[in-house]
Amino acid sequence: MSEKVGEAGGESATEFDRAATFREVFGVAEYRALFGAAVLSWVGDYFAKVAVTFLVFRDTGSVLLSAIGFAISYLPWVAGGPVLAALAERYPYRRVMIICDVARMVMVATMALPGMPLPVLLLLLLGASLLTPPFQAARSAMVAQLLAGDRYVVGLSFQNMAGQAAQVAGYALGGVVTAVDGRTALLINAATFGVSTLLLWRGLRPRPLPMAEVHRGSLLRETGDGLRFVFGHPVMRPTALVVFSVVAIVIVPEGLAAAWAPDFGGGSQITGLLMAALPIGAVIGACVTRVTGPERRLKLLKPVLLVGPLLLVPVLAAPPFAVVFLLVVMAACAVNTVLVPLNGLFVQMLPNAFRARAFGIMQGGIQLAHAVAVLAAGAFAERFPVPVVVGAWSLCGLVLMGVAVTRWPGRDVIKEEITHAAELNRVTVPADPWISSTSGPRQTVPGR
């Protein structure tokens, strides 16, 4: 980016163009506490998913009920993630995270009580899951406060790697513990929430409300304001749509792994390898993001957007398993080298008063894109071979990315919006957040 943009972000052009280091990221003490709390929560959540799925199946013998138990944790994001995330804008982020962790600790510990009826167990799981959107929205917004410039992008890439590792470790260790005693796995999950609470309480300093009291309305109205802001913005709108599209493209091989495995003469082992290809590619993509500078990442954005779906098109020819595995890993790697810079760009456009809501909208959209893509591809796979579905889906995605690349906002528009957001965030007294403009809702700056 230009020197103007670097100054708008509070950093010199040299600092903006230089890739940040892990040492700089973890040199921020508050981020270390926030990162540790997040990792604990992730591992504990995967423990709980394994335990609930096992306990429900053991007690009922129903595959459908066990699948419902697994899927409940995703329901709040799909059904009302942006609305729930808007709660994080009403209170200080630190307080939101601590309250959510304490409440989840109590509910998960209650789930572990002997003789807990299945309907009550599922209801408690739903209650705990409803607290995930406000917690994650507050955490994401605080990360953007703690890490500026390229430190945010590098921190996010490492966070993605840690999330993938937590998924593998949580499922593996959760399976081992659950095999001995499923309720012990739930108690371990409750304990992770307790330790996370302590880290947040001791490691983060209190900060004021992100939203001024004068701007508060109903929760639905605030959510609507957030939706209008994101999808009325000349840069955030295409960024959000591209993110939703690329995750919907790359998730299909994982979602169809079980139905695809018999084509390679395998069962659960091949299924597991196909499902593992996505997180493996994500980790490699995060490493690539780390070694490339901010300017180069943005220059590579358009070609890499095309490379992701393009790598999956050859699946149409039904290649052998080793080739398919490699293609999925490479596609996931390409997509993740795009997602992290897009996230960094998205953050630079955000006024402080909309951070949590915007992150909630993005998380909800990603979860919805995952669900719709897997359900649609699964329906097609009922009538057509899986390689045809995956390859054709990726070919359509390639066309979609081609349109997105041609309509991507110019550098001058991006620079202007970054500068405008930086000006907003320097204003201590929030102004009336909306004025009419040709590009949709826009937050104003006094005197602008």
Q: How confident is the model at residue 394 (pLDDT cuts 50, 70, 90)?
A: very high
What's the sign of the alpha-carbon dihedral 27, 200, 169, 315? negative
Tens of pLDDT along 414-429? 888 878 777 776 754 3
**pLDDT at residue number 393:** 93
- At residue 334, does pLDDT exceed 60? yes
Whether residue 331 is found in the same domain as residue 368: yes
Span of 80-89, 111-120, 270-279 with lowest mean pLDDT: 80-89
Tens of pLDDT along 103-154? 999 999 998 888 888 888 888 888 888 888 888 878 887 887 888 777 777 7
- At residue 444, does pLDDT exceed 50? no
Q: How confident is the model at residue 398 (pLDDT cuts 50, 70, 90)?
A: very high
Report how many domains make up the chain.
2
Distance in Å from the first CA to the final CA of the chain: 24
94: domain range?
26-148+164-210
Residues 6+ apart with CB under 8 A from 214: 430
How would you classify residue 115: left for phi > 0, otherwise alpha for psi between -120 and 50, otherwise beta?
left
Whether residue 107 is found in the same domain as residue 225: no
For position 430, which CATH number holds? 1.20.1250.20
**pLDDT at residue number 197:** 93
Q: How confident is the model at residue 337 (pLDDT cuts 50, 70, 90)?
A: confident
Question: In this prediction, what percent of the chain has a pLDDT beyond 70?
Answer: 78
Whether residue 328 is found in the same domain as residue 186: no
Bigger pLDDT: 326 or 355?
Answer: 326
What's the sign of the alpha-carbon dihedral 68, 74, 78, 84? positive
**pLDDT at residue number 42:** 81
DSSP state letters, 273-327: HHHHHHHHHHHHHHHHHHHS-HHHHHHTHHHHHHHHHHHHGGGGG---HHHHHHH
Whether residue 188 is found in the same domain as residue 230: no
**pLDDT at residue number 319:** 92
- At residue 439, does pLDDT exceed 60? no
Final residue in a domain of this structure, among 210, 239, 264: 210
DSSP state letters, 124-173: HHHHHHHTHHHHHHHHHHHHHHHS-THHHHHHHHHHHHHHHHHHHHHHHH
Q: How confident is the model at residue 8 (pLDDT cuts 50, 70, 90)?
A: very low
Flag whether 350 is in a domain.
yes
**Average of pLDDT values for 150-175?**
73
Cα–Cα distance for residue pair 436/158, rounded to 1 Å: 39
Tens of pLDDT along 172-220? 677 677 777 778 888 888 999 999 999 999 999 888 765 554 455 566 7
**pLDDT at residue number 224:** 79
Flag whether 102 is in a domain.
yes
CB 354 within 8 A of CB 443: yes
**Average of pLDDT values for 245-249?**
89
Cα–Cα distance for residue pair 49/325, rounded to 1 Å: 26
Cα–Cα distance for residue pair 377/90, rounded to 1 Å: 38
**Alpha carbon 207 to its chain's center:** 24
Cα–Cα distance for residue pair 132/85, rounded to 1 Å: 9
